Amino acid sequence: MYLFSLVGILIGLTSCNSPNAARLNNATPAAAAALTSPTAPLAFTLTPQPVLIPSATLSPTLTVLVAGTATPVSTEAYPSCLSKLGRIEQMFFPSDIISDTVRYRIYLPGCYDAMPNERFPVLYLLHGQGSTDDQWERLGVPQKMDALLHAGMIPPFLVVMPYDPSQKEAYEDNFASTFPHEIVPWIDNHYRTLSDRQHRAIGGLSRGSGWAAHFGLSEWEMFGAIGLHSISIFWSDVVSIKRWLSDIPPNQMPAIYIDIGDREEPKMLESATWFENLLTDQGIAHEWHLYRGYHDENYWQEHVEFYLLWYAAQIGKK
């Protein structure tokens, strides 16, 4: 296994049932109410549109140290996004790092071609181990993007889904170099992107979440938001994560979202809990969601819409 599995031995795992009181110290009143009230909905809210809360949640579902709200989405600036469907392109380009081409898929919203002077935020979504760059497409990202755009719930943005053909640890995988040094610059040079970190997010599921944590923290200047879905930290990153976190200026810390199913394998839950406790102990703002579900595509597909709403709240601001 290349994914994190020995945290309890290497780090000294803290209890997964850390008191909510420790989290309430820095929570907003709304977040505090969600944690303390037995009748309050245990999910954060994006304004002005209500969040589509996944069904069958398991308490506790949420930890928020510092809660934020999204700015209202104005669809008046993107009228063509309300009628046209987006498209997926699979693309290749030559690499100077590997002796092969780099492969990726990209979702372009329906108004991309109709607005040649407009630049767009970018979300990078990384696939899991044993899968390919079509995984997020198979989970319904293009359809959900179109539906949310047409409903006026999110602004348009690009979604890039790169392919990592390796199964190696992060320090052995050329993807560690090709992604920040070739893929991200290629996208910015060949598409009309907003290339500042405030308009760029990275997320991933399973092994892809390990990459999202790796790049989001070690290359924090590039990303303003990190989504970790069924999080699995790379074993080789365990000793580096505390240093990466300490190197990020407090006012530049990316927004962090973590979710995982309650029926995951114990070691996967241990990995996620260790990372969440680390953020909590250091007073780093984050969101922690524990939902009912397994480590499978049914779980991720059920939550794709919720993920996209969260990413849009982070990178969709003008």
The domains of the chain are located at 7-315
The DSSP annotation for the chain comes to: --B---HHHHT-PPPTT--HHHHHTT--HHHHHHHH-SSS-SS---SSSPP-PPSSB-S---EESS---PPPPP-TT-GGGGTS--EEEEEEEE-SSSSSEEEEEEEE-TTTTT-TT--B-EEEEEPPTT--TTHHHHTTHHHHHHHHHHTTSS---EEEEE-----S-GGG-THHHHIIIIIHHHHHHHS-B--SGGGEEEEEETHHHHHHHHHHHHTGGG-SEEEEES---BGGGHHHHHHHHHHS-GGGPPEEEEEEETTS-HHHHHHHHHHHHHHHHTT---EEEEES--SSHHHHHHHHHHHHHHHHHHH---
Give the pTM: 0.79
pLDDT of residue 210: 94
| pLDDT score at 305 | 96
Backbone angles phi, psi at 30, to 5 degrees: -65, -40
Phi/psi at 142 (nearest 5 deg)?
-60, -45
Residues of the chain with pLDDT under 70: 1-80, 318
Cα torsion angle, 180, 269, 5, 265, sign: negative
Domain 7-315, CATH: 3.40.50.1820
- Which pLDDT score, from 0 to 100, does residue 76 have? 58
The pLDDT score that the predictor gives to residue 27 is 35
Q: Do residues 271 and 301 touch, judged by C-beta distance below 8 A?
A: no
Write down the pLDDT at residue 168.
Answer: 77
Rounded CA gap, 16 and 11, in Å? 14
> What is the pLDDT at residue 308?
97
pLDDT reported for residue 3: 44
Q: What is the pLDDT of residue 49?
A: 30
The pLDDT score that the predictor gives to residue 75 is 54
